[in-house]
Amino acid sequence: MPSTIVITGASGGIGRALAVEYAAPGVTLHLFGRDPTRLDAAAAAVSAKGGVARVHAADVRDAAAMAEALTAIDAATPIELLVANAGISAGTRGGGESDEQTRDVFRVNLDGVLNTVLPILGPMRARRRGQIAIMSSVAGFRGLAGAPAYCASKAAVRVWGEGLRGEAAADGVRVNVVCPGFVETPMTGANGFPMPFLIPPKRAARIVRQGLAHNRGRITFPWQMAIVGWFLRALPDALVDAFGRRLPRKPARD
């Protein structure tokens, strides 16, 4: 059981559920997000389970701020588990994606993951110890018409994490990629269409924790969506394109 854990996007959804899942006496959780009020609420939930919570209001797009905060935490107490979870969702409902939306999805979901992982990767390698979980998605298995930038950002971090896993293992660092299907959070609350095999965040957090404890390279869940992901990759492009055009689209960002 890791005793010093960092989670980005811990102010809500899956990140908060993960924080509560790991909360226990002897465990310190560093909770990152932008909204101080929601971070404080997550910290209270951690404390209620006997864990120690420290909140850090920071934007994952800010490389310098992330590096400064993470390096300070790691210097005080080495981070044992780092969960790069913060992300945004956006799609093409009502038309194509704006340039700004496309760039912001990559800034948060890709640059934000790099800004979280890179400052701590070196120190973990140096001490030959540590675990890094990268939040991807089943949506990252194939580009879909409903959310091109989101799918691409999730594919990028998945593939990066898969490669990094093999490479960092030589230095004693475990890297895991997490690919959820639909989880009931504020993010999916905005979708407004029926989501197959939707699961509550508490169940998602339990599955992630078990997967990380077993050091699974790719943690895809629920199993029904793992099968969907397999089909998305295995079927001919023309078939997936035709299917993708018929799927409901994620809403665009305001």
Ligand X SMILES: NC(=O)c1ccc[n+]([C@@H]2O[C@H](COP(=O)([O-])OP(=O)(O)OC[C@H]3O[C@@H](n4cnc5c(N)ncnc54)[C@H](OP(=O)(O)O)[C@@H]3O)[C@@H](O)[C@H]2O)c1
Residues marked active site are found at: 150
Q: Verify binding: residue 85, ligand X, rule CB under 6 A.
A: yes
With CB under 6 A as the contact rule, the residue among 88, 105, 168, 207 that binds ligand X is 88
**Interface mask (CB under 6 A) for ligand X, residues 17-56, using x and -?**
----------------xxx--x------------------
Phi, psi of 173 (to 5 degrees): -105, 130
Q: Verify binding: residue 134, ligand X, rule CB under 6 A.
A: no
Residues 184-203 that bind ligand X (CB under 6 A): 185-188
Closest CA to 175 of 164, 185, 184: 164
Q: Verify binding: residue 220, ligand X, rule CB under 6 A.
A: no
Alpha-carbon distance of 110 to 113, in angstroms, equals 5
Strands across the sheet containing 174-180: 52-57, 28-33, 4-7, 81-84, 131-135, 174-180, 218-221
Number of residues that bind ligand X (CB under 6 A): 30
Contact 28, 51 (CB under 8 A): yes
With CB under 6 A as the contact rule, the residue among 120, 135, 147, 164 that binds ligand X is 135
With CB under 6 A as the contact rule, the residue among 49, 54, 61, 129 that binds ligand X is 61
For residue 45, how many other CB atoms are within 10 A of its CB? Answer: 17
Bridge-partner residues for 176, per DSSP? 133
What are the residues binding ligand X (CB under 6 A)? 8-15, 33-35, 38, 59-61, 85-89, 108, 135, 137, 180, 182-183, 185-188
